[in-house]
Structures are given as structure tokens and as C-alpha cells.
Amino acid sequence: MADPVAIARDLLRCPSVTPLEGGALAFLETTLKAAGFTTHRMTFSEAGTPDVENFYARIGTGAPHLMFAGHTDVVPPGNEAAWTHPPFAGEIDGDILYGRGAVDMKGGIAAAVAAVLEYLAANGGQPKGSISFLITGDEESVAINGTPKLLDWAHKHGEKFDHCILGEPSNRNVLGDTIKIGRRGSLNGTLIVHGTQGHVAYPERADNPVTGLVALVAALKAEPLDHGSKLFDPSNLEFTSIDVGNKTVNLIPGEARARFNIRFNDLHDQESLKLLLEKRALIAGAEKIRFSFEWEPSNADVFVVEPGPFTGMVADAVKEVTGHQPTLSTTGGTSDARFIKNYCSVVEFGLVGQTMHAIDERVPVSELRALTQIYRLILDRYFAA
């Protein structure tokens, strides 16, 4: 029997902080190649972004083709002295496995690898179809040189996928409570108020942009963007920083900025949101506040995958192993499912995400084994069907 805990510990010991490979992809290549997979490692580049190494492996040549997708890159551990166990040691304390990436998402990858190895061992080393792993190294960053380019590479090489399980930590409180079938979009912007610089003792000679910025920020937050839709919670706008860059206390600045992020549902797209905010700012400014918006490029559009037989198969396997009937959800941040859905039907199901990106990120060993059982059951039923 393949041991998901041992696989997870080996992955956790690889310091693969974005965009570093850290040995994680090399470990997966060695492990899957030994099981008969054909493997590929490739590095993608783009001006202004770090080079990123990625990994693709496949066994089998026929249909149906089930893909397990994920990422081995992790966010930085922060203050390592604050960890009770070193972030890249893969230490176990009781039933708990500690390490950066334990739930997001090396633990999910380890469970998928273990489940596939067990399935192959029970079926003569070959699937009744095809199984692949599509693993990137920049999901935690700008997601430019990872999954979108890896999927394009696979498509150009004739790879066709029928279904995908993305092992992101989808569950909110307990293993089995949530399957993600969609994600909100994400859009970053900066509100800039333009003033006139001057001496604070002579305010009549200046135009303080801070006053205008405060007014516009309040106006943009005063009313909700919407009240939600059938499958999505209400869209949300959050201001995350206010910057003036003024170190002189008796100087009225010439400009003030406020950065924000919008997580939006299927009632909007990026262009309609831009128009909505600009309209609200115009009304609030009443032609007295001079302002502009700077919008950052985004590849994080809203999407939802309509539930079908594959979703039902995953949900049934989750319930059989955990006893929980999972909720089909579209909450949370963005994920690489936004790219995968253009190539095949995709659901997200992994571990519980409560400690992801936190000090002492961790996963119960029992949950890691349970997730492996769920993936194994899905494999059995998928290829039997």
C-alpha cells in the first residue's frame, strides 16, 4: 500500500516557495516514473515574471482520462521561529503532520499520488483508461507561467482530458463538508485622487486629496455591489491600503491613493465592474473631486461548472468515506480551476483549509489517509463506469 503520509513528508521537506521548484517536482517525477508514468518537466517564461518549472505525467493512452491537478509551490513560512515545528521538516507530533504546504496543497497531492499508486497496483499496473498529473509551480503567485501555459502545452501535444480533480483545500471545517464547483472572479485596482500641493497654513491655495479620497472610499463601500446570485454569495469590495507618501506634516500632498480588491460573482464581469465603480465615484465626487482608477490585469474571471454525474460520483465517494454530504460551493479565493474548466469538467476537493498560509500549517494524519481513501474510491468507480 502506498503511504500518503510518507509521500507528504517528502514533499514538505522540499522548500518550494514560489517560484522555486525546491526538489518537489523532481520527487514526483522519480515516484511516478517508477510506477510507469511518462513524465515531462518544462519551464515557462514571460517578460517581467520569474521562470517557473512545471510537471506533467500520464499513464495509459485511452479514454476516459482523469487528471489530478495541483501545485507544489507554497507561500513563504514567515517567521520560522514562531513555528512549533520547522516549516520544511515534515515533522509529526501525535496525529498531526506539520509543514508549509501540508494542506495547501502538498497533502492533497500526496493523497492523490498514493491513491493512484494503490489503484495501479490493484489493476496490473495500468488504468482502464488514462490517469495524469498536471502540477504547477506558481499557483501562489501571478499564475502566468504555470497551469495556463502547461494546459496549452498539453493541448498542443494532443492531450485530451475528460475530468479533473483539483486537490485544493476545499473543506471549511471538517473533511467532507465542501466540494468547490466554481470560484468568484478577482480584480485589483487603485483609486487615485488628484489634488494640489500646498502649505497647510494656507489651505485656500491647495486642494487636499486626502479629503476627497476619504469621501470616495466611503461612497464606494456604502452600497453593496449586489445581493448575490443563485450559486454565488454577494460580490465584495475591500480597500487594503491607503497611501499618500507624504513624510512632511505641514505639507498638503498632491495625490492620494487607495488600493482595493473585488471578489465578484456571476452577475458581473471585469468591464462591468469597472464601469460600476467609475459611475459611483462620479456621483459621489459631484464634479468636485478629481480622481482616476488604475486597473491591474487579471486572469481570474468568475466561473461555475454545472453539477453532473462526475460531481455526483465525487460527492458519493466523499459521503461514503466521511459520512458527510458535501455542500457544492463557489466560495473562497481563486484557483487554477479557472484555467482547467476551459479544457474539461473540474471539481475541487482536498483537505480542510483552516491552517493554510498560517504559522504551524498542519493536517491530521487520519485526514490525509481518509482523503486517499476518497480518491481511491473515485478511481475505482470512475474507470468501472
pLDDT range class, residue 1, cuts 50, 70, 90: confident
At 385 the pLDDT is 79
The mean of the pLDDT values for the chain is 96
Tell me, what's the pLDDT at 181? 96
Distance, CA of 312 to CA of 309 (rounded, Å): 5
Q: What angle do CA 233, 334, 221 make, to 5 degrees?
A: 50
Mean pLDDT calculated for residue range 231-248: 95
The whole-angstrom separation of Cα 21 and Cα 77 is 16
Is the pLDDT at 100 greater than 80? The verdict is: yes
- pLDDT bracket for residue 20 (50, 70, 90): very high
Confidence of residue 314 (pLDDT cuts 50, 70, 90): very high
Strands (E), the chain: 38-46, 49-59, 65-71, 92-93, 96-98, 130-136, 163-166, 178-180, 182-183, 185-194, 198-199, 236-243, 251-252, 255-264, 291-295, 303-304, 327-329, 345-348, 362-364
3-state secondary structure of 127: coil
The span from the first CA to the last CA of the chain, in angstroms, equals 24
Would you kindly state where each structural domain of the chain is located, as residue ranges?
Answer: 4-183+302-384, 185-295
Mean predicted confidence (pLDDT) in 10-39 = 98
Preceding peptide of 224 cis, ω within 30°: no
Summarised one tens digit per residue, pLDDT across range 147-188 is 999 999 999 999 999 999 999 999 999 999 999 999 999 999
- Which residue type is seen at 328? L
Q: In whole angstroms, what is the distance from residue 281 CA to residue 289 CA?
A: 9
pLDDT in tens, 112-146: 999 999 999 999 999 999 999 999 999 999 899 99
Concatenated DSSP letters for 14-34? S--BTT--TTHHHHHHHHHHH
Q: Cell numbers for 122, please give them.
A: 490493484
Which residue would you say has higher pLDDT here, 333 or 23?
23
| Per-residue confidence (pLDDT) for residue 138, from 0 to 100 | 93
pLDDT of residue 83: 98
What CATH fold (topology level) applies to the domain 4-183+302-384? Answer: Aminopeptidase (3.40.630)
Cα(372)–Cα(350) distance, integer angstroms: 10
Which are the catalytic amino acids?
73, 139
Q: What is the pLDDT of residue 139?
A: 95
Q: Are 226 and 262 in contact (CB under 8 A)?
A: no
pLDDT value at 306 more than 90: no
pLDDT in tens, 327-375: 999 998 889 999 999 999 999 999 999 999 999 999 999 999 999 999 9
| pLDDT of 267 strictly over 80 | yes
CATH number for the region 185-295 comes to: 3.30.70.360
Instruction: Average the pLDDT over 212-240 and give the result.
Output: 96
Say what the pLDDT of residue 187 is.
Answer: 96
pLDDT of residue 232: 93
Residues 162, 346: Cα–Cα separation, whole Å: 9
Give the Cα separation of 354 and 131 in Å (integer).
Answer: 30
What is the arithmetic mean of pLDDT over 48-53?
95
